[in-house]
Structure 1
Amino acid sequence: MLNVVSSLKGFELQAKDGSLGSVRDFLFDDSTWKVRWMVVDTGRWLSGRTVLIHPSAVVSADYGARELTVSLSTQQVKESPDILQDRPVSRQMQNDLCNYYGWDPAWGSALSGGGGMDGAGTSVIAAPLSAPIFFGASAVRETERGQIDLDEGDPHLRSVAEVTGYHVRAIGGTIGHIGDVLVETETWDVRYLIVETSNWWIGQHVLISPHAVTAVNWTDHQITLDLTRDKVKSSPPWDPADMINTKIQRQLHSHYGWPGYGW
């Protein structure tokens, strides 16, 4: 099921024995374009703490009540490793969380497959992905032997909130900015970037697959595509009020020559 990420923000996260807080953001991997973590604001329950919950922990969703249920207890979350807000989210932090909860650190990779909520709100337990450095700003440091320091920030971990508003540049010029992100909650793949075309094509929104992204410049807040502006302007029309069904996706992928999703 495709969901606009902004519609999932603010969902209450329900554990087996109580509320954990609300979803504040999602972190995705800019190399695999998969969601790796939900960023949860614990409010007064764990005052001053932000926790990361793996998408594979989600077992059901109630869209009417705006709730996600996870296969965790409040005590598990309370005793989980701390995420230091004055430091980037490192690979070591992520490894510590996976080891503590028993989550598969390879979840979401091409070899392990994925899972998540289906259209009925049930779940096939899956595993995680990655997204900009969330807490703080630090680049991964490589040693002289080419080894990566696990204590430094994961350079591929990016925040959806950060990416929103980034300028999108096609061949021939800018086409607009990122207005939102569409995620497939069965696999937690980032399926499409929703681009608001602004003054270039007033009032229009276009869907761009990560397949078209050739570069992401986190310093200049810009995403570069391998598409021409004319190609984008001749793409099948899309109204944000419409459901993103298989027919629309097939038309888009046929127009751009993108790989399909096994329809």
Structure 2
Amino acid sequence: MYLHYDWLTSYTVFGSDGEIGEVSDCYFDEDDWTIRYLVVKTGVTFLSEKRFVSPLSIAKIDHKEEVIRVNISKEETEKSPDPGDEPVSRRYEEEFNNYYRLSPYWIGNGVWGLATMTDRDLGSPEVSAEADLAQNENYSVHKAKNVMGYNLSVKNDVFGKVDNFLIDEKTFEIKYFIVDTKKWLPGGKKVLISTKWIDDVEWSVSQISISVTREQIEEAPEYLKDMELSDNKEQELWMHYQKST
């Protein structure tokens, strides 16, 4: 199942000992385009603090109740490292992982490194990534909200803007952009573009280059609100863009 980014930002997180807070945003990494942290607003005042929660801690998502249940406690979250303001440093990520005893997602071949989404071992020893820090000084994760509205282009020809994400509920990979083409294409519509088709991202000018043609986009199937993306529809989408899954 695919999650919409804007669904997540309306959900409430509950720990093993009660409500932690509401999801206000997410952070993803720019290499794998995977949600690494949910930003949870604790408290109900303007001065409420924010804390990060890893998708690895999620035990269950109840879409009907708009609730995310995690296998950590409210107390743990309150005492977790403060993320402060942007940008999020790799050193903070290491501190976060050590606190929750998580394997760093950037070490290993999987989307979550040596960890999995289905087997989180809270009793595992600390995993130090000091040796990896020097190689990743320029690495950063990005706030999802900031990417909403980014232009998408084919050979510098803009064809739409990012309107939403479709996120794999099992791995939390951002699989597709929901792209609004209304201002750029005749009879504009919303279409799906896979993050696997990214050629380049120019963060400084908020633009993402995609390896498809303008004609393919104009003839692409329209993505309607809350449309279920079945395996067959997904296969047809990739065939339309002449891409192999």
State if a TM-score over 0.5 links the two structures. Answer: yes
SS at match of 1:250: helix
Question: In structure 2, how many angstroms separate the alpha carbons of the residues matched to 1:108 and 1:21?
Answer: 30
1:189 partner letter: E
Contact in 2 for aligned 1:29/1:157 (Cα 8 Å): yes
Alignment of 1:162-177 (within 5 A): 162-171=146-155, 173-177=157-161
> Please, which of 203, 211, 214 is the counterpart of residue 226 of structure 1?
211
Question: In structure 2, how many angstroms separate the alpha carbons of the residues matched to 1:46 and 1:98?
Answer: 28
Q: CA deviation at 1:231?
A: 1.8
Q: CA deviation at 1:149?
A: 7.4
Which residue in the other structure is 2:77 paired with?
A: 77
Question: In structure 1, how many angstroms separate the alpha carbons of the residues matched to 2:100 and 2:204?
Answer: 34
> Please, which of 183, 197, 208 is the counterpart of residue 181 of structure 2?
197
Which residue in the other structure is 1:133 paired with?
A: none
Question: In structure 2, how many angstroms separate the alpha carbons of the residues matched to 1:113 and 1:45?
Answer: 38
Alignment of 1:50-89 (within 5 A): 50-85=50-85, 87-89=86-88
Which residue in the other structure is 2:233 paired with?
A: 248
Alpha carbon RMSD of aligned pairs, Å? 2.5
Contact in 1 for aligned 2:88/2:140 (Cα 8 Å): no
Which residue in the other structure is 2:130 paired with?
A: none
Which residue in the other structure is 1:130 paired with?
A: none
What do residues 187-226 of structure 1 show as CA deviations (whole Å, max 9, x unaligned)?
A: 1111101100022233411100112111111111111112
Q: Relative to structure 1, is the Cα distance of residues 65 and 223 closer, same or farther in structure 2, using a 3 angstrom cutoff?
A: same
Contact in 1 for aligned 2:89/2:140 (Cα 8 Å): no
SS at match of 1:219: helix
Q: Relative to structure 1, is the Cα distance of residues 257 and 104 closer, same or farther in structure 2, using a 3 angstrom cutoff?
A: farther
SS at match of 1:227: coil
Which residue in the other structure is 2:171 paired with?
A: 187
Contact in 1 for aligned 2:42/2:51 (Cα 8 Å): yes
**Residue 13 of structure 2 is aligned to residue 13 of structure 1:** yes
Q: Relative to structure 1, is the Cα distance of residues 173 and 45 closer, same or farther in structure 2, using a 3 angstrom cutoff?
A: closer
Identity %: 25
Instruction: Report the TM-score when normalising by structure 1.
Output: 0.80
Q: CA deviation at 1:3?
A: 1.1
What do residues 156-208 of structure 1 show as CA deviations (whole Å, max 9, x unaligned)?
A: 31111010001111137111100000000101111101100022233411100
SS at match of 2:179: strand
Q: Relative to structure 1, is the Cα distance of residues 197 and 126 closer, same or farther in structure 2, using a 3 angstrom cutoff?
A: farther
Which residue in the other structure is 1:105 paired with?
A: 104
2:80 partner letter: S
Point out the structure with the larger helix share: 2
Mean alpha-carbon deviation: is it higher for 161-170 or for 233-242?
233-242
Q: Which residues of structure 2 form unaligned runs of 5+? A: 122-132
Mean alpha-carbon deviation: is it higher for 17-26 or for 104-113?
104-113
Q: Relative to structure 1, is the Cα distance of residues 84 and 248 closer, same or farther in structure 2, using a 3 angstrom cutoff?
A: same
How many residues were matched structurally? 231
Which residue in the other structure is 1:156 paired with?
A: 140
Contact in 1 for aligned 2:159/2:184 (Cα 8 Å): yes
Q: Which residues of structure 1 form unaligned runs of 5+? A: 117-123, 128-145
SS at match of 2:170: coil
Contact in 2 for aligned 1:31/1:156 (Cα 8 Å): no
Which residue in the other structure is 1:94 paired with?
A: 93
Q: CA deviation at 1:108?
A: 9.2
Contact in 1 for aligned 2:103/2:115 (Cα 8 Å): no
SS at match of 1:249: helix
